[in-house]
Structure 1
Amino acid sequence: MGKLYLTRSCLPARRASSPALYFVKFEHCFCLQILLSLSFLVPLSTGYRFMRLLLFSLLLCVGCGNHLPESLGPARKIIVLADSTDWQTLEDPLREIFETVIYTPQAERIYEIALGDVNFLKAHKHEQRKSLMVIAPLNANHPTAQFVKEILSPEVQQAILDGRAGVTWKKDVWAKDQTLYIVSGKNIETTVENLFMESDRLYSTLENAVDHSVRENVYSFGERKDVTQELAETYGWNVRVPFGYRILETYPNFVVLARDNPNRWLSVYWEDDVHPDQLTEDWVIQKRDDITGQWFGGDRIVLGEVTVRQTEFAGKLAVVLQGLWENEAEWKGGPFKSYAFVDVDLNRLFFIDIGLYSPNKKKAPILRRIDLVAKSFTIHRAFFQDK
Structure 2
Amino acid sequence: MRKLALLFLVVFTVFACIQSEDKGESTDKDGKTTKTKKRSVALPDASGEPGEIVIIVNKKKYDGPLGDALKEVFLENVPGLTRSEPLFTVRVIEPFEFNRIFKIARNIVYVSSFEGNAAADKWLQGIYSEESRQRIMNNPDSFMQTSGDQYAEGQNILQLYGKDDATLIKNLKENASLIQNYFNMAERKRLAETIRMSSASRAILNKVNNKLDINIKIPAGYELAMLEDDFMWVRFLPAVGANKNLIVYEKEYESQDEFTPENIIKLRNEVGQKYVYGDPENPESYMVTETKYMKPITRTIDFNGHYTVEMKGAWKTNNLSVGGTFVSYTFVDEETNKLYYVEGFVIHPNEDHRELIREMESLITTFKAS
TM-score normalized with structure 2 length: 0.80
Secondary structure, aligned partner of 1:270: strand
**In the alignment, which of 275, 286, 294 is matched to residue 298 of structure 1?**
286
Letter of the 2:155 partner, please give it.
Q
**What is the aligned partner in structure 1 of residue 266 from structure 2?**
286
Cα offsets for 1:54-75 (capped at 9, x unmatched): xxxxxxxxx9624012112125
Please, which runs of 5 or more residues in structure 1 have no aligned partner? 1-27, 32-62, 381-387
Within 1, Cα distance between the matches of 2:197 and 2:147?
25
Counterpart pick for 2:354 among 364, 367, 385: 364
User: What is the RMSD of the two structures over their aligned residues, measured on CA atoms?
Assistant: 2.4
Residue aligning to 1:99: 75
**Equivalence map 1:242-321=2 (5 Å):** 242-261=219-238, 262-296=242-276, 297-303=285-291, 304-321=294-311
Residues 129-166 of structure 1, C-alpha deviations (whole Å, 9 max, x = no match): 11111112113223333233332222221121122522
Aligned to 1:38: none
**CA, structure 1 residues 197+144, in 2 after alignment: closer, same or farther (shift >3 Å)?**
farther
2:265 alignment partner, SS class: helix
Aligned ranges 1:1-387 → 2 under 5 Å: 29=18, 65-89=40-64, 90-102=66-78, 104-122=81-99, 125-162=101-138, 163-219=140-196, 224-261=201-238, 262-296=242-276, 297-303=285-291, 304-380=294-370
What is the Cα deviation at residue 223 of structure 1?
A: 8.6
Supply the AA of the counterpart residue of 1:172.
Answer: D
Give the Å deviation of 1:30.
5.3
1:5 aligned partner: none
Please state how far the C-alpha of 1:346 moved relative to its aligned partner. 0.7
Question: In structure 1, how many angstroms separate the alpha carbons of the residues matched to 2:250 and 2:89?
Answer: 37
Q: What is the Cα deviation at residue 225 of structure 1?
A: 2.7
Match of residue 44 from structure 1 = none
TM-score (norm 1): 0.76
- Evaluate the alpha carbon distance shift between residue 349 and residue 333 of structure 1 in structure 2; reply closer, same or farther with a 3 A threshold: same
Secondary structure, counterpart of 2:49 in structure 1? coil
Aligned length: 321
Greater Cα radius of gyration, structure 1 or 2: 1
Q: How far has the Cα of 1:378 moved from its partner? A: 0.8
Deviation at 1:277, TM superposition (A): 4.1
1:315-370 Cα shifts (integer Å, max 9, x gaps): 31112221111113142211111211122221211111221121122222112212
- Say which SS state the counterpart of residue 309 (structure 1) adopts: strand
Q: Separation in 2 of the partners of 1:196 and 1:153?
A: 26
Give the secondary structure class of the aligned counterpart of 2:162.
coil
> In the alignment, is the contact (CA less than 8 A) between 2:209 and 2:215 conserved in 1?
yes
**Secondary structure of 1:337's partner?**
strand
> What is the CA distance between 1:29 and its match in structure 2?
4.2
Given that 2:287 and 2:316 are in contact with CA atoms closer than 8 Å, whether structure 1 keeps it comes out as yes
Contact in 2 for aligned 1:223/1:242 (Cα 8 Å): no
Write out per-residue CA displacement over residues 267-303 of structure 1, whole angstroms, 9 at most, x where no aligned residue: 1111124233432222111111111012223321111
Structure 2 residues not aligned, in runs of 5+: 1-16, 21-37, 277-284
Distance 1:320 1:132 in 2: 28
Cα 1:353–1:75, aligned 2, differ >3 Å: closer, same or farther?
Answer: closer
TM-superposed CA distance for 1:119, in Å, is: 0.6
Against the structure 1 CA distance between its residues 199 and 308, is the aligned structure 2 distance closer, same or farther, given a 3 Å change threshold?
Answer: closer
CA distance 1:97–1:160, shift in 2 (3 Å): same
Task: State the distance in 2 between where 1:68 and 1:168 align.
Answer: 21
Q: Contact 1:222–1:242 at 8 Å: present in 2 too? A: no
